[in-house]
């Protein structure tokens, strides 16, 4: 089977062609999420047509198109339920109708953290493990869960994916989701520069001379003994470790996979989380494995093919009943 795959990230959109579990071609384009999604979708369609032409792949031979999208998704209607300030028209679009009209293909769409987990579960770090959770550390924090071989979705599609919006600090600052003290507000790329500037030792920190204060800079300067960077690093590691304990207590996984752009600093993150979980998670049956994602950006693209196949399977079952 051949599928088209589109991964909508915070800053870029990744497009790919997936053939039987292998990404055979891909390209990236800027997300430009201040635009309308309707206009960006046309750019996506043109780019996919070009990619297929380069591969001499007629569109009609594809089994479908899959979207990985950073939102809560209604899988039955293939609609995006919220937009958190990006692509403001997203929830008004009938994506299934768009894919049919524009590309002549069926469309399957799922939340981005779930897609990262599906990719890792079927093809990467979670292969062979039917009880696993992913925590993606990036602009925001994504969580998704597979329990007993089933992707956990829930009645409104939000089960298991709001880990970034679990309350970590009951008197914390307000979050875009409406809650206060969310995990994302305490340790994510979206807040790290602001947290650095608020730190009392920021002015004398090497971070103050960085053009961009991101986690790569925080981990680099913490290793050099910079007090502000050490404080930010340690707070973030504590928050992510506490989140890992929370998801272990909630979902009973055998494996917690850490992914996302911040995992460029995996050599600092994984041992800290592993130590914390070994000390604090209540798992009398044994130890939960903590591992890094293996597929990076490819996970969501590969998951598109799996999702299209799942939809086709369901459609066949519905026809028979």
| Contact with Zn ion (CB under 5 A) among 79, 153, 165, 276 | 165
3-class DSSP assignment, residue 56: coil
Count of residues in contact with Zn ion, rule CB under 5 A: 5
Query: Which is closer to Zn ion, CB of 163 or CB of 259?
Result: 163
Distance CA 55, CA 78 (A): 28
CB atoms within 10 A of CB 281: 18
The residue to which tokens 């209607």 are assigned: 77
Burial of 296 (0-12, 13-18, 19+ CB in 10 A): middle
Contact window for Zn ion (CB under 5 A) among 125-133, 162-170, 196-204, 300-308: 162-170
Contact window for Zn ion (CB under 5 A) among 117-125, 146-154, 178-186, 205-213: 178-186
Q: Does 175 bind Zn ion (CB under 5 A)?
A: yes
Distance CA 149, CA 264 (A): 29
Q: Does 239 bind Zn ion (CB under 5 A)?
A: no
Contact window for Zn ion (CB under 5 A) among 13-21, 83-91, 104-112, 163-171: 163-171
User: 112-123 vs 298-320: helix axis angle to the nearest 10?
Assistant: 90
Residue closest to 5 by CA, chosen among 144, 121, 107 = 107
Q: What is the DSSP letter of 177?
A: T
Distance CA 210, CA 279 (A): 35
Q: Does 114 bind Zn ion (CB under 5 A)?
A: no
Query: Which is closer to Zn ion, CB of 26 or CB of 179?
Result: 179
Q: Does 177 bind Zn ion (CB under 5 A)?
A: yes
Residue 92: CB minimum distance to Zn ion, A: 23
Residue closest to 257 by CA, chosen among 89, 165, 119, 164 = 119
Residue 86: CB minimum distance to Zn ion, A: 15
Residue 154: CB minimum distance to Zn ion, A: 18
Q: What angle do CA 233, 238, 242 make, to 5 degrees?
A: 150
Residue 80: CB minimum distance to Zn ion, A: 18
Q: Where are the alpha helices (DSSP H) in 252-294?
A: 266-280
Query: Which is closer to Zn ion, CB of 78 or CB of 182?
Result: 182
| Contact with Zn ion (CB under 5 A) among 179, 197, 201, 283 | 179
Q: Does 57 bind Zn ion (CB under 5 A)?
A: no
- CA distances 118 to 228, 285, 299, Å, are 37, 26, 7
Query: Which is closer to Zn ion, CB of 125 or CB of 175?
Result: 175
Q: Does 44 bind Zn ion (CB under 5 A)?
A: no
Query: Which is closer to Zn ion, CB of 14 or CB of 165?
Result: 165
Q: Does 182 bind Zn ion (CB under 5 A)?
A: yes
Query: Which is closer to Zn ion, CB of 84 or CB of 268?
Result: 84
Query: Which is closer to Zn ion, CB of 14 or CB of 114?
Result: 114
Residue 85: CB minimum distance to Zn ion, A: 13
Please state whether beta strands 79-80 and 2-8 pair in parallel, antiparallel, or not at all (unpaired): unpaired
3-class DSSP assignment, residue 157: coil
Burial of 163 (0-12, 13-18, 19+ CB in 10 A): buried
3-class DSSP assignment, residue 224: coil
Distance CA 7, CA 10 (A): 10
Query: Which is closer to Zn ion, CB of 107 or CB of 175?
Result: 175
Query: Which is closer to Zn ion, CB of 93 or CB of 177?
Result: 177
Binding positions for Zn ion, rule: CB under 5 A: 165, 175, 177, 179, 182
């Amino acid at each position: 089977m051949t599928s088209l795959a589109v991964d909508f990230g915070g800053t870029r959109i990744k497009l790919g062609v997936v053939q039987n579990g292998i990404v055979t071609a891909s390209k990236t384009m800027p997300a430009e999420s201040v635009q309308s999604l309707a206009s960006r979708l046309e750019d996506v369609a043109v780019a996919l047509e070009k990619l297929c032409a380069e591969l001499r792949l007629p569109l009609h031979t594809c089994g479908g198109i899959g979207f990985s999208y950073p939102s809560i998704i209604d899988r039955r209607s293939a609609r995006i339920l919220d937009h958190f300030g990006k692509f403001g028209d997203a929830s008004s679009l009938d994506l299934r109708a768009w894919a049919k009209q524009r590309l002549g293909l069926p469309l399957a769409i799922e939340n981005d953290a779930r897609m990262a987990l599906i990719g890792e579960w079927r093809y990467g770090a979670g292969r062979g493990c039917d009880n696993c959770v992913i925590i993606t550390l990036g602009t925001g924090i994504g969580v998704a869960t597979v329990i007993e071989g089933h992707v956990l979705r829930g009645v409104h599609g939000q089960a298991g994916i709001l880990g970034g919006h679990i309350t970590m600090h009951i008197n914390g600052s307000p979050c875009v989701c409406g809650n206060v003290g969310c995990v994302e507000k305490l340790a994510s790329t979206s807040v790290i520069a602001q947290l650095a500037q608020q730190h009392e030792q920021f002015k004398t920190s090497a971070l103050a001379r960085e053009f961009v204060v991101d986690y790569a800079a925080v981990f680099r300067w913490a290793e050099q003994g910079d007090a502000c960077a050490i404080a930010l690093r340690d707070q973030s590691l504590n928050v992510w470790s506490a989140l890992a304990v929370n998801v272990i207590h909630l979902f009973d996984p055998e494996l917690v996979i850490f992914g996302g752009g911040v995992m460029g600093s995996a050599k600092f993150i994984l041992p800290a989380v592993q130590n914390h979980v070994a000390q604090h998670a209540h798992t009398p049956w044994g130890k939960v494995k903590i591992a890094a994602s293996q597929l990076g950006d490819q996970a969501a693209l590969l998951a598109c093919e799996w999702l299209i196949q799942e939809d086709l399977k369901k459609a066949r079952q519905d026809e028979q009943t």
